[in-house]
Chains A and B, each alone.
Chain A
Amino acid sequence: MPRWIAACEADDIDPEDVIPFEHDGNDYAIYRSPDDVYYATDGHCTHEMTLLCDGLVMDGIIECPKHNGRFDYTSGKALGAPVLADIRTYPTKVIDGSVYIEIG
């Protein structure tokens, strides 16, 4: 059953950056684009499960810190080897300065 979970404060993330969020033993990555739109994906790269929160956020893309695999974090689309499988994305919303993601 889908539910909205408070993940972080909007100001916790710098523009064009990512932070980790853990809930119920699952890892998520929360992104803030340069124009202050928030996105969320699974926390691990689909290639070798490296945590994406240490990666580089640039031009709508998250790059994995281990093998430089790239995803479009707005759609979850894998952008080429060594990542071949898309990453799951989650809806987000901001209410009273808090970022919520919809999981389940």
Chain B
Amino acid sequence: MGRERLERYSLTGPENQAAVQAGLAGGDWFRSAVPRKRMKELMRRSDYPAVRDTVIWIGLILLSAGLGITFWTVWHSWWAVPFFLAYGLLYGSTSDSRWHESGHGTAFKTRWLDESLYQLASFMIMRDPTTWRWSHARHHTDTLVVGRDPEIAVMRPARLARLLANLIGLVDVPMAFWLMFRHAAGRLTGDEADYVPEPERRKVYRTARIHLAIYAVTIGLAIGLRSWLPVVLIGGPRLYGACLFYFYGFTQHAGLGENVLDHRLNTRTVKMCRINRFLYWNMNYHVEHHMFPMVPYYRLPELHEEISRDCAPVYSSLWAAYKEIIPAILHQLRDQEYYVRRELPPGAAPFHEPTPINDGRALPLRTVTAA
């Protein structure tokens, strides 16, 4: 099962071509009708919200690090632990949403601010900024299309042990270093070669060498100082502070339809409290983001109001989302055709299902294309 599953989701496997032949690759996705004038208002950029939020975010990171270092080195106190945990979560989890928004180029109006935050957050979350920019573009082109989308977090059946181990980065971090060494040696993986154009590849190799050099200095410092502190501050948070990253991230698509051309069938919008929305930079409005990626995170609540008539009811909380996600993932362990299909409210535009295969089950693609 393991090898067969990986082959199905691989971008170099047979499902890629099957998806192309089925018209799912680069497909025509549903979008709610929003008047152009209103959409222009929603797309409009401003530096202020993201500058404010980034100053607070970096301030919290520096504050928690400073207090952790002080309690540890000056008073040798266990009170350092909660501050390092806070630091770890801010570094190892919330950098994902900063990476995401700045990668789209929508967080700031000023381009270099987006690019600077993108480079910083990419380092923190241990992603190569170039390969992941292209990977994420593909994720938006072919969201949850099997064999095309490189960012499907929960396969069918789910790799449960891997998902659980990753709550403390035990798979993704070694994988990130393996990729860094591979890139530093001037090589991409087969999947990466499928979506990273040739002219962009030099940047991948150069960045990997820079990131590896930073980690080498960090480890050298730790050895020289005979202290874990450098590793606790750089790199380590991607392990001990990663849980929130996955906890938020699984709400986006897990258990929903594959091989569809309507984000209302494969993406969730989940209500979150103000603190979680700050930490996640409104990525909980995920249906809205996928339907209109141009809208900056601070306008997504307004976009949500604009298109809610077309969408299934939002999940009222993270708890409500996980009450659906966990049983769905467990169900898919024994029935890979199972998926959560949401009900649209009366009057909503119907689901966009141009051919009978796009119903979310995803399995019969090869049979259909062979017929």
Instruction: Give chain A's interface residues, CB within 8 Å of chain B.
Output: 17, 47-49, 54-56, 58, 63, 65-68, 70, 81-82, 84
Task: Count chain B CB atoms within 10 A of each CB in A48, A49, A54, A81 and give the residue with the most.
Answer: A81
Q: Is B293 a contact partner of A66 (Cβ separation < 8 A)? A: yes
Roughly how many angstroms separate A53 CA and B26 CA in the complex, as a whole number? 18
Q: Are A55 and B105 CB-contacts (below 8 A) given A48-B141, A67-B140?
A: no
A-contacting residues of B (Cβ < 8 Å)?
A: 26, 36, 39-40, 43-45, 104-106, 109, 130, 133-134, 137, 140-141, 197, 199-200, 292-294
> Are A68 and B134 in contact, CB atoms less than 8 angstroms apart?
no
B292 to chain A: which residues have CB within 8 Å?
Answer: 65
Find out whether the CB atom of B40 lies under 8 angstroms from the CB atom of A17. Answer: yes
Q: Which of B130, B197, B294 interacts with A68 by CB under 8 Å?
A: B294
Known: A81-B200, A82-B133. A68 touches B105 (CB 8 A): yes
A48 touches B197 (CB 8 A): no
Instruction: Indicate if the CB atoms of A48 and B26 lie closer than 8 Å.
Output: yes
Q: Which of B43, B134, B294 contacts A82 (CB 8 A)?
A: B134
Minimum CB distance partner of A65 in chain B: B294
Q: Interface of chain A, helix or strand or loop or mixed? A: loop
Q: How far is the CA of A67 from the CA of B133 in the complex (A)?
A: 10
- Give bound CA distance, A84 to B130, whole Å: 13
Q: How far is the CB of B93 from chain A (nearest CB, A)?
A: 24
* In contact, B40 and A82 (Cβ under 8 angstroms): no
| Residues in B neighbouring A49, C-beta threshold 8 A | 26
Report B178 CB to chain A, min CB distance, Å. 24
Report how far A55 CA is from B36 CA in the complex, Å. Answer: 10
Contact A67 B141 (CB under 8 A): yes
A16 to chain B, nearest CB (A): 9
Partner of A56 from the list B40, B130, B200 (CB cut-off 8 Å) is: B40
A68–B105 Cα gap in the complex (Å)? 7
Please give me the residue from chain B that is nearest to A82 by CB atom: B137
- If A55-B294, A56-B294 are given as contacts, then 20 extra A-B residue pairs at C-beta distance below 8 Å, sorted by A number, are A47-B137, A48-B26, A54-B36, A56-B43, A56-B45, A58-B45, A58-B109, A63-B105, A65-B293, A65-B294, A67-B137, A67-B293, A68-B104, A68-B106, A68-B293, A81-B134, A82-B134, A84-B197, A84-B199, A84-B200
